[in-house]
Structure 1
């Protein structure tokens, strides 16, 4: 299985490659990608340098062009496809059909991966995207159980990539409206969930902190309580007098224990989430998953999860806790 790791900037890209990533995914400094945070992503020169660093070591670079442009801005996404082809990217990761169509017609040799934002969760959807746009791979949304992943692997016309570790999104990617509902801006259209310009932190005299998104109170924290990046889905809300994480607790997806089952199913690539995370996160998580994958490949019959692996991954998890998320459902 290929290990695909995040690169939010050039140092993170270099760290991922040096720690053992088979491929990295990156974005340009605009709204063509779904992590358009200030200070993140790549200039043209940085992208060229990153591609050179990866290719010199036999690794790959995928360019994320996974947002949904309106018709007035399509030319910007088309230009980004041209740039990916011209710079020598190994694939683009796209969701919008016009972008996929343009890439297929204009740069047929540039591999096209269907983004998780494309929301393909069924065999017919995968077949359509393969037949119409010639996708070479599809990234599955993080809402499927392991049984559903296994069944899709049996019938999919293209290799499948699944998220293995990182921030867990409970929505079907590409269809979430929460950020748009509160701020008018969404990762699907504007490249970022909970844009920083709408976030406001307030601290009281006793050290307690509250966070508002576009003046909507979404959480309060005790003085020593860790607080991650504020999103609506991970806020705490008053529901009939009880305050709790009504949608999703701050936790990270960790499928390490499922690695043998994912390999047996024929999953082509394991994806690490976290282009918004720092170099230390990227290097540590990449190194840990590289060790686990390599040990499984060498001795699948005796493979087991090493405590040190889980300890290292838990250090980088949201809320310092992990979950299998939708991969494991008791009712299945």
Structure 2
């Protein structure tokens, strides 16, 4: 069985692009704090989501809605309303992290398919099977911290479908357990819906100092904390603490995580062999052009793997390199050759 290709839809144009380029399903979110990619200018209101669902369903594809932050005291009604809205709009599944919200969804919408979000931090089959037994989840999205052998072990011990990340930004944490942004800003990405909330981000230009390349330099700060400095014409990604460059013992480098993209093309046959049900592309904050490039490439690779005689095409790697974070790619935790 070929895994489903699940692609990001941060906007209606991105949703249509993913469908047009071969996604089996897209995942999207509402324009509010129930969504872990709650960036200004992105995401869906009810009207746009209804249009996207219609577009996907007419082409035999699915729409999954991520309600993957954790309800806040005194405001939990907004999360329940999001579940209700998703069900009423006819989504194919909701992706939830909070167990209370799973219980609500199962009670109020028993026919609604539930997926356990990566933000739920389920990295072993006991946690997955608990959520299946108590809340009826049908699929789990695994954190990006497991080896292939660990993923295979989990699949062998659960009836829940397993979805893994196949391309996009990595996370140094076991998702759902990040404290870095909340340490810097007082607002957790697991609750407010964004790593490095935009209201705390500042870009400041300055002239070169002694010993620096001439020209205008850029500094990125999060709540006043200097995260990175960029030389003239140096590509600058969205600033997050985990991917910042810091002075450590006299050197300035990426102290926690170097910008790089997960890319599973090399191990795609192994993922199929162990029974992965879906391959997920990260990047709801990225452009429709990114969505088109990655979806088209992974669609071709999955189709080749399904037919057998799989071989990674140089053109595939070149195409993905154009949209990789830091222009680099890695197998991440899937391959740990020192073990």
Under TM normalisation by the shorter chain, which class is it? over 0.9
Task: Give CA-to-partner distance per residue, 1:264-322, whole Å, 9 cap, x none.
Answer: 00000000000000010001110110011011112x2x111000000000100011111
Task: Give CA-to-partner distance per residue, 1:57-96, whole Å, 9 cap, x none.
Answer: 0000000000011231111111111111100000000000
Q: CA RMSD in A?
A: 0.8
User: Is the contact made by 1:179 and 1:185 (CA closer than 8 Å) also made in structure 2?
Assistant: yes
Give the structure 2 partner of residue 29 of structure 1. 31
1 CA distance for matches of 2:220 and 2:262? 24
Comparing 203-212 and 154-163, the one that deviates more: 203-212
2 CA distance for matches of 1:319 and 1:240? 24
2 CA distance for matches of 1:288 and 1:191? 29
SS in 2 for 1:39: coil
Give the structure 2 partner of residue 98 of structure 1. 100
Q: Which residues of structure 1 form unaligned runs of 5+?
A: none
Give 1:327's match in structure 2, choosing from 298, 313, 334: 334
SS in 1 for 2:289: helix
**1:111, CA displacement in angstroms?**
0.3
Give 1:120's match in structure 2, choosing from 96, 118, 122: 122
Asked whether 1:239 is paired with 2:248, we answer yes
Task: Give CA-to-partner distance per residue, 1:215-265, whole Å, 9 cap, x none.
Answer: 000111111211100000000111122211010001111111110000000
Give the structure 2 partner of residue 314 of structure 1. 321
Comparing 170-179 and 67-76, the one that deviates more: 67-76
Give the structure 2 partner of residue 292 of structure 1. 301
Asked whether 1:252 is paired with 2:261, we answer yes
SS in 2 for 1:37: coil
**1:101, CA displacement in angstroms?**
0.5
1 CA distance for matches of 2:58 and 2:131? 32
- Please, what TM-score do these two structures have when normalized by structure 2? 0.96
Off by >2 Å, runs of 4+ in structure 1: none
SS in 2 for 1:41: coil
Q: Which residues of structure 2 form unaligned runs of 5+?
A: 208-214
**1:211, CA displacement in angstroms?**
0.8
Comparing 238-247 and 11-20, the one that deviates more: 238-247
Alignment coverage as a number of residue pairs: 330
Comparing 159-168 and 192-201, the one that deviates more: 192-201
- Please, what TM-score do these two structures have when normalized by structure 1? 0.98
Give the structure 2 partner of residue 280 of structure 1. 289
1 CA distance for matches of 2:89 and 2:288? 24
User: Is the contact made by 1:185 and 1:193 (CA closer than 8 Å) also made in structure 2?
Assistant: no
